[in-house]
Amino acid sequence: MSDTIAEMRLPTQELREDIPFFTKTLKMRMDMIYPADNPSVAVFSGHGLRLRIEKGAPERPGTIRILTADPDGFADGQRLLTAPNGTRIEIEARYPPLVLPETQHSFVVRRLADEAPWIIGRAGMHYRDLVPTRLGGSIIASHIRIPEGGPVPDMVHFHKVGFQLIFCILGWVDVIYEDQGDAIRLHPGDCVIQPPEIRHRVLEASDDLQVIEIGVPAEHLTEIDHEMTLPTAQYSPDREWDGQKFVCNRATDADWQLFRLPGFSCRDTTIAANTGGVANVQVVRRGEGVSPWAAHDADILFTFVMGGQVILEGEGRDPIALSAGDAYVIPPDLQTRLSEPSEDLELLEVALPGHFNTHLG
């Protein structure tokens, strides 16, 4: 047992009124009260919290958030309460359902030459936003880099997401995953999907590591798991998280085939098959012939230019010359065409859902 303990102090004017509220309504335990003849201090503990309620304390009452698996049954269904000492109490669900916002469709082009700022985010990594509109909150697409390689100050964590992709485009990175054995090193062209709530940790990266990360929805929680140690003793490559299997797809194992658009070939990453059709991820290269005008009925169709050049033509829009580092989103039913692809063109296409229709001509 630790000899150190922390508590939060809250003020009160009349302690006798607070005792039944904190013990009966909030279901906390009273651990201490004094002085006996005219109590002015009481200490309560519960729900991972220790409170010192002190008469005449100088602090403001503040807010306590209680997260519970049964919010409707915790305080007779009340979600917002005020303690006799003025402290605000919010009752919320401990495990709220994942909400996927309705996609706000738009035609989006994000060019590297526009010099959008790099933002320092989690674990010191640099982020460049590839879809500033987030399509109404339905997706976040980030170009992430680590300029100076070495160990990454990361912790075992997980994300509450519907879908998440990591695609390496430059350098290498070592990542370790729950129930997937030892660390995995990703090289350019390699990718993984991180199923919902799979525990993982970034271990080490090369100089100038660059990856593309896709997350659905755009705003999702990242939680630290202080209990799990990786690698786990169990190896379970076929385990599913919310119907999705972990996927590590290697560029060296590529099986090139005809793409959905004539004039291009593609490499299927097997992600559609392993997510039950939640998403599809393909690497696209120039093929034979000229690609026609086409439209699709996917909810989200995101593309990142990994190499080479191509011209994106859109119905009623001026042609846009794209090169490595650029990204675009094509909304459903919009007629577009990719023209004049360079020999070294390479695209990363991410579609949600994984099965959708393409209409040519």
**Do 214 and 287 fall within a single domain?**
no
H/E/C letters for each residue in the chain?
A: CCCCCCCEEEEECCHHHHHHHHHHHCCCEEEEEECCCCCCEEEEEECCEEEEEEECCCCCCCEEEEEECCHHHHCCCCCEEECCCCCEEEEEECCCCCCCCCCCCCCEEECHHHCCCCEECHHHCEEEECCCCHHHCCCEEEEEEECCCEECCCCCEEEECCEEEEEEEECCEEEEECCCCCCEEECCCCEEECCCCCCEEEEEECCCEEEEEEEECCCCEEEECCCCCCCCCCCCCCCEECCEECEEECHHHCCEEECCCCCEEEEECCHHHHCCCCCEEEEEEECCCCCCCEEECCCEEEEEEEECEEEEEECCCCCEEEECCCEEECCCCCCEEEECCCCCCEEEEEEECCCCCEEEC
Mark which of 53, 69, 93 sits at the end of a domain.
Answer: 93
The pLDDT value recorded for residue 221 is 86
CB atoms within 10 A of CB 318: 6
**Do 175 and 202 fall within a single domain?**
yes
**Do 129 and 223 fall within a single domain?**
yes
pLDDT digits (tens, 9 = 90+) for 161-211: 999 999 999 999 999 999 999 999 999 999 999 999 999 999 999 999 999
Domain residues for the domain of 26 are 8-93
Residue 134 within any structural domain of the chain:
yes
pLDDT digits (tens, 9 = 90+) for 84-143: 999 999 999 998 888 889 999 999 999 998 877 788 876 667 899 999 999 999 999 999
**Do 244 and 146 fall within a single domain?**
yes
- Contact of 35 with 28, CB cutoff 8 Å: no
The pLDDT value recorded for residue 97 is 86
**Do 138 and 246 fall within a single domain?**
yes
Q: pTM of the prediction?
A: 0.88
Average pLDDT score over the chain:
94
**Do 169 and 146 fall within a single domain?**
yes
Mark which of 93, 116, 138 sits at the end of a domain.
Answer: 93
> In CATH, what number is assigned to the domain containing residue 308?
2.60.120.10
314-322 average pLDDT score: 94
Residue 298 within any structural domain of the chain:
yes
Mark which of 251, 279, 309 sits at the end of a domain.
Answer: 251
Residue 18 within any structural domain of the chain:
yes
**Do 47 and 136 fall within a single domain?**
no
The pLDDT value recorded for residue 117 is 79
**Do 121 and 229 fall within a single domain?**
yes
The yes-or-no verdict on residue 304 having pLDDT over 60 is yes
Residue 321 within any structural domain of the chain:
yes
**Do 178 and 280 fall within a single domain?**
no
pLDDT digits (tens, 9 = 90+) for 222-280: 899 999 999 999 999 999 999 999 999 999 988 999 999 999 999 999 999 999 999 99
pLDDT digits (tens, 9 = 90+) for 79-92: 999 999 999 999 99
The pLDDT value recorded for residue 122 is 66
Residue 100 within any structural domain of the chain:
no
311-315 average pLDDT score: 96
Looking at the 3D structure of the chain, how many domains does it have? Answer: 3
> In CATH, what number is assigned to the domain containing residue 75?
3.10.180.10
The yes-or-no verdict on residue 1 having pLDDT over 80 is no
The yes-or-no verdict on residue 42 having pLDDT over 80 is yes
**Do 130 and 228 fall within a single domain?**
yes
The pLDDT value recorded for residue 123 is 63
Residue 226 within any structural domain of the chain:
yes
Residue 168 within any structural domain of the chain:
yes
The pLDDT value recorded for residue 118 is 85
| % of the chain residues with pLDDT over 70 | 99
